[in-house]
Amino acid sequence: MTETVVDLQHIVVTYRAGFLGGEAFDAVRKVNLSIRAGETLGLVGESGSGKTTLGRVCLGLLAPTQGVMSFGGAPFGTLRQRRGQLSVVLQHSEWALNPRLRCGVSVEEPLIILGVTAEERRRRVAAIFDSVGLGDGYVDRFPGQLSGGQRQRVSIARALVTEPRFIVFDEAVSALDVSVQAQVLNLIMDLQHKYGFGALFISHDLAATRYVSHRIAVMYRGEIVEDAPSERFYGTPDHPYSQMLMSSLA
């Protein structure tokens, strides 16, 4: 049985409008979810349904108001203890990469934080540039000298260089042209085979989500209303909201 990487039990996230209390709003309501090593869970749902909030909980960036999150079968602990074990790839690579740093330096940074030696860092940066399909020539370039697809490959290299056990892809291909999207989705799947990370793939795009995900969870107003293997979800979704999402794709 493959190891569960992230496990959420009865997670609730309550936001309050304003600093002085204000009205409480549950953006995530009693969510149970688990993701295994080597597995991608696609998280879909309308804007504002709570997908990014849930992603932030999985990354340990947001403490849930209620519920328990565990990582690799143990309590999550602190972000410091989890350094290098989790990563995120966001929609806009130009925001994720410092424009003043050469791409190789941006990719090396997480290894410096982990205290990896200079020699080992050089070896791992070269290997990961190779894994994401960018040769040596890109290490010394600045993000502004790259195409959107190439920049997203650098973001993925940065996310992967520490060999994390879990990665959140939050609208990671949404800003790319369709043909480049397909290349990046293929890359994500190849890298998952190679490195075995568990992944949460958050997207508005049901077709892209289907392509990379083993399971699909549908979020609606803070709740997971369906969690099914991809083949079953795309064949016959159970929940009326999922059926509506699917018919919007047809």
* Chain positions contacting ligand ATP, by CB under 6 A: 15, 27, 45, 47-53
Q: How far is CA 101 from CA 96, 107, 123, 141, 248, in A?
A: 11, 10, 19, 9, 42
Amino acid at 167: I
Residue closer to ligand ATP, measured from CB, 48 or 235: 48
Nearer to ligand ATP, 52 or 162 (CB): 52
CB nearer ligand ATP, residue 27 or residue 33: 27
**Coil, strand or helix at 196:** coil
Nearer to ligand ATP, 53 or 242 (CB): 53
CB of 48 to ligand ATP, least distance (A): 4
Measured from the CB atom, the residue of 103 and 217 that comes closer to ligand ATP is: 217
Alpha-carbon distance of 42 to 219, in angstroms, equals: 10
CB of 172 to ligand ATP, least distance (A): 13
| Closest distance of CB 13 from ligand ATP, Å | 8
Residue 34 beta carbon to ligand ATP: minimum distance, rounded to whole angstroms: 20
Q: What CA–CA distance (Å, rounded) separates 44 from 50?
A: 10
Token representation of residue 187: 């890359």
Between 118-131 and 148-160, two packed helices, what is the crossing angle to 10 degrees? 130
Give strand ranges (E) for 2-119. 4-16, 24-36, 40-44, 66-71, 74-75, 86-89
H runs (alpha helix) in the chain: 51-58, 93-96, 103-113, 118-131, 148-160, 178-195, 206-212, 230-235, 240-249
> What's the min distance (Å) between Cβ of 62 and ligand ATP?
9
Nearer to ligand ATP, 64 or 143 (CB): 64
Shortest Cβ distance from residue 20 to ligand ATP (Å)?
14
Q: Which amino acid is at 244?
A: M
